[in-house]
Amino acid sequence: MLVRPVAEGRRVETLKSMEPIDFGVPTDTITSIQVHESTRRLLESRKRGGESYDDVILDLIDQEPTEAEIREFDRRMRKGGPGIPLEETRKRLGL
């Protein structure tokens, strides 16, 4: 990992991926990105086992809903329809 000084004493670290990202296109290119040290620590805290930073970033991206998913959710919410009665919800939750 390379550490590069930046303005006002802030540090930006360069992460080098251990393996290339698979976009369905063959590639051997490994790139580097600059992140603040605090960002690197947050990424490090999310790593499990032998995961690379690439794995962690892709997991985070996968958690973000796509624009199509957001539109579909919005459409369903606006459509409305019968909901679950409050008493049924309480019964299901054991309240």
Domain segments of the chain: what residues? 2-19+28-79
Question: Once rounded to an integer, what is the mean pLDDT over residues 10-31?
Answer: 60
Question: What is the model's pTM?
Answer: 0.45
Please report the pLDDT score of residue 86 as a whole number. Answer: 85
Interatomic CA distance for residues 46 and 74, integer angstroms: 30
The confidence band for 83, taking pLDDT boundaries of 50, 70 and 90, is confident
Question: Once rounded to an integer, what is the mean pLDDT over residues 35-46?
Answer: 93
pLDDT over 90 (residue 45): yes
Percent with pLDDT over 70 in the chain: 69
Q: Are 26 and 40 in contact (CB under 8 A)?
A: no
Please report the pLDDT score of residue 89 as a whole number. Answer: 87
pLDDT over 90 (residue 44): yes
